[in-house]
Each structure stands twice: as structure tokens, then as C-alpha cells.
Amino acid sequence: MVRVIETSQVSVVTGAGSTSRTDERFGIHGTDLGIVWDGGDGRLYVLFGDTYGRGWGGDGGGPPEADWRCNVLAFSSTRELSAGLELDEVVAREDGGATQVIASGRGREATVIPNAGIAVDGRQYVHYMSVREWGPPGRWDTNYSGIAVSEDGGRSWHKPRSARWKNRRRRDHPFQIGAFARDSEYVYLYGTTNGRFDDAYLARVSPAELLNARAYRYWTPDGWVSDEYAAAPVFTGPVGELSVEYDVHFGRWLAMHLDEHRAAIVLRTAARPEGPWSEGEVVVSGQDYPGLYGGYLHPWALDGEDIYFLLSQWGPYNVYLMRARLAP
């Protein structure tokens, strides 16, 4: 078991007044998520969701005419996080502003939102969801989820149809929001349904088959099966945006996610990817940070008592670097 001693905000990552002045340098006035992973090329990849520039309303997402991009990608080389997270550059368009990297489709697709990223054998992979329509707070419908791949360091992305999980009419597919993890043998994909109120499920695949949805096997107490709808929960919800990493200092897997019922970001631990997982312990409360969500573990800060993670707030609609001190 690992317990949370204290949590504090370190720096503002995006928007006006941010460490990197993203509004001035990259046209990022408002954004959210901040999904982080080690790109294996000396850089930290930082992927944001719906992003707005000049003309942004200043509170929550929108309006669309305010230089809206469904997602944007930045890079960081900051190793000393106690002073904040600096974004060195972005995948940029001609005017220097951050450009959308994962393409959006046509028809019944409101936006394309990233969920997780991982680097495998020199390639970058992002799990994303095709949002059909937004519903009440914490609820939405997806068309499908999928994995996009980049072979040029995140500059361009391809969305192969072989790596998609189509949602059913019931909107109950268990891998519409995802989180990647990896050990020496498998890439793991944690999932939950669209929205923030269901349980968490687990799949695994050989790294060579990462873009083949048919090759994934899904965890049940009786073994790994090929039917994703037969997957059993590895821990119970409500599970919002999810991040999973292995902490070498504590020798435990960490899972961080939004618990919508408690209006808090919580932390769980386990000795194995499939668990058993501990109950979620509050890391950040919505009483202190209203409208909070996200909670993405920084992969370069898992070797000591302090962990770092990126937190979003809907009201400011920007991203913050947080630090939590843990103890066994």
C-alpha cells in the first residue's frame, strides 16, 4: 500500500501566466488534459485536448471560432520538475501556433480527444476517442475509440482502421477511454466506457500487434479472453480519465483517475497490472480545485517519494503541474 501525505500545485502549464507563456508562443489560450509519456527520444510528449486561441471565452471550452483545434502536441525536456514544467516547442503550423495533429472526421463526430500515449520501438502511439456528441457533465457518446500512430516523432499521425473499437448502440463498449502501460512482455490497455461513471477494464497485447485490435486479450478472473465485452472490472468506478504507471521507488503500479462521485482525483496501487487494486485515495479534492479532471502521471518522476502529475480544471480551462508526496 502507498498513502498520500500532501499535494500541492507547482506551476501553470498552459494559458496566460503559464511557465511557457503558451498563449503568446503557441496560440494556446485555453486547453485541457495534458497527457504525458516518454517518447524514447529524450523528449516528454505532452498532448492536449480541445484547444482554443485568440477569442477564447475565458471559462471552459469554446467558442469554436476561437482558433479551435481538437488536439495539439507539445514537447518538454524539463527534468527538474520542482520549478515547473517548461514546454520547449509544439507541432506547429506556418504562423508558429500549435496545429491539430490527430485529424478529425466528418459527419457525426464532434471532436477527436486523446486518452493516452506510449512509445514502442521508435513509434509513437496515441489512444483516442471519436466523440459523437457531448451530454450532461461527465457523460458523452463516442462513435469508436482507436489508436493513432506516428513514425516521425509526432509530426504526422495515421489512424489505421485495424486499431479501432467501435461503440455499440447501447454506448457500453468498455474501452472507449484508455490508458497505456507496459512491462517486459506486453503493452496493457486499461479502459472504461464513454463518460466518467463506469468501472475499469484491462486488455493486453504483444507490442508487435499493437495496431491489431483483434490480437488484444481481455482480463477476466478465469484468464485472458478474446471478447472485449466479456472483460471483468479490475477496479470499480466511477472512473474518469485514467493514467497508469509503474513506480520503481515503491515497487507498485499506480493508477490515477477522476472519481466523479467524490469530485476528486484518486490514486490506487497494485502489485500486478490486473490487481488486486487498492481503494482510491484522494490526491486532489474538488473543494480545493473546483471542476477538476484529468490527472496524468509524469513518467520521469516515479523514482522517489514525490510524484508529479498534470491536472485540468474546467473553469480556468487550463492545465497545472501538481506534486504529491507519498509514503508506504
CA 12 to chain centre: 18
pLDDT of residue 158: 98
Q: Residue 56: what pLDDT? A: 96
CB 13 within 8 A of CB 31: no
Distance CA 174, CA 198 (A): 8
Query: Contact at 8 Å (CB) between 276 and 268?
Result: no
Provide the 3-class DSSP secondary structure of residue 328: coil
- Give the pLDDT score at 106: 77
Quick one: pLDDT at residue 299?
98
In our burial notation (b when 16+ CB lie closer than 10 A, e otherwise), range 11-45 reads bbbbbbebbbebbebbbbbbbbbbbbbbbeeebbb
- Cα 125 from Cα 103, distance rounded (Å): 14
Residue with cell 488486486: 276
Model pTM?
0.97
**Grid cell of 135 as nine digits:** 451530454
pLDDT at residue 48 in the model: 98
Q: Enumerate the domain spans of the chain.
A: 3-12+107-327
Scan for cell 468501472, then name that residue.
Answer: 199
Q: What are phi and psi of 293, to 5 degrees?
A: -165, -175
User: Per-residue pLDDT tens for 140-167?
Assistant: 999 999 999 999 999 999 999 999 999 9
* Grid cell in block for residue 109: 463526430
Q: What is the CATH number of domain 3-12+107-327?
A: 2.120.10.10
pLDDT above 70 covers a percentage of the chain that reads 100
C-alpha cell at 114: 486523446
Question: Edge-to-edge, what's the strand order for the sheet holding 242-247?
Answer: 242-247, 252-259, 264-270, 281-285
Taking only the tens place, the pLDDT of each residue in 58-107 is 989 999 999 999 999 999 999 999 999 999 999 999 999 999 999 998 77
Residues of the chain with pLDDT below 70 are none
Q: What is the dihedral of CA 282, 288, 293, 294, to 10 degrees?
A: -70
Note the pLDDT tens digit of each residue in 295-307. Answer: 999 999 999 999 9
pLDDT given at position 59: 87
